[in-house]
Amino acid sequence: MEFLNLFIAAFVVMFVVVDPVGVTGVFSALSAKIPADQSRKIAVRAALIAISILVFFAFVGTWLLQALHISMPAFRISGGMLLFVTAFRMIMGYHDPDQVDSEAGSYKDRSSIAVFPLAIPLMAGPGTITAIMLLTSEYTGLLGKAMVLSAMISVEIIALLFMLSAAHFTKVIGSTGNSLIARVMGVLLAGMAVQFVADGAFALVDGHFN
């Protein structure tokens, strides 16, 4: 019963941090004009990359950041800055592949969106990495870590299923609706990015004076 409660608690935390619905909105915007078979491959690749990253940080994340002398607040700030770049591009309409192709060095390989921004920083960003590191550090036993990792993988699979159904959603709302949602999601992502930076900066200042 204890481990079931641990799984449920970890699942809720990871679901809130990953936000599969929000990830699907971003995926829908970025893959609007990408062929369906390619977008499915991108979704699967993003999920696999995110899971791999989180499993890695679950076991060696704390040691790695300490070895590189990187604090978690600094990590959150960097993630927020990366996320803001994506938000700006979505608001300005740069997610449109027609505009992307005309921009040198800008998403030239569309499959790269699986790595950034889908896997990093959305599905496995600073908040998600922080959550998995904190959860696994609280439970040193093998079974406890297994429950946390199982909860994380379950959330990422849910996000994948949501992304795989994004094409049907796009067909219903049309190109105009998709463009509108892309910009609304961009604004929300910008707010999330600023929050990441603000939380990281506050933690840095608080840690410096305490």
Q: Spell out the SS3 assignment of 72-106.
A: HHHHHHHHHHHHHHHHHHHHCCCCCHHHHHHCCCC
Which tens digit of pLDDT belongs to each residue from 157-185?
999 999 998 867 666 666 677 677 678 87
Asked if pLDDT for residue 140 goes beyond 70, the answer is: no
Are 7 and 147 in contact, with CB atoms under 8 Å apart?
yes
Q: Of the ranges 6-15, 22-31, 102-111, 129-138, which is most confident?
A: 6-15
How big is the chain, counted in residues? 210
Distance CA 169, CA 19 (A): 17
Domain ranges of the chain: 23-209
pTM (two decimals): 0.71
Label residue 174 left, alpha or beta by phi (over 0 means left) and psi (-120 to 50 means alpha).
Answer: left
The C-alpha R_g of the chain, in whole angstroms, comes to 18
Which tens digit of pLDDT belongs to each residue from 186-198?
787 788 788 888 9
Distance CA 203, CA 43 (A): 33
Which tens digit of pLDDT belongs to each residue from 21-30?
778 878 887 8
What DSSP designation does 110 have? Answer: G
pLDDT band at 109 (very low <50, low <70, confident <90, very high): low
Average pLDDT of the chain to the nearest whole number = 81
- Residue 140: CB atoms within 10 A of its CB come to 8
Helices 36-67 & 166-209 angle (0-180, nearest 10): 10
Tokens of 67: 């070895």
